[in-house]
Amino acid sequence: MELCEQHGIKKHFTICKTPQQNGVVERINKTIAKKARCFRLNAGLTKNFWVEAVNMEVYFMFLVLDYFGLRVFGCLAYMHIYSNERSKFDAKSRQCIFLGY
């Protein structure tokens, strides 16, 4: 309480299990969940990848100002294999799925 008072923060309490009292945050959460579901389904990934999809949506929603150079969630990607981890005749990259920044 002292920390809040020092910084001029006013606490507002809500009743448990009543999302109606927290409308703005609930709408943002619903929007994030819907878009993350679309990302995951469009990429053809299982439900196990919901965290990566949510992280990607939050990244787009709050951090991206310029969409130039962005990649599609779940698209084909290649990971470079360093020369000390492969032999002369091994592949230099491995095929992967892009799951976010």
Please give the full DSSP string across 14-34, using - where no structure is assigned: --TT-GGGGHHHHHHHHHHHH
* Residue 66 in tokens: 């310029």
* 88 contacts 81 by C-beta, under 8 angstroms: no
In tens, the pLDDT along 10-65 reads 887 878 877 777 788 888 999 999 999 999 999 999 999 999 999 999 998 888 88
- Predicted confidence at residue 56, as pLDDT, reads 94
pTM of the model: 0.71
* Residue 93 in tokens: 């990259």
**pLDDT value at 100 more than 80:** yes
Q: Count H helices, E strands: the chain?
A: 3, 2
- Predicted confidence at residue 33, as pLDDT, reads 96
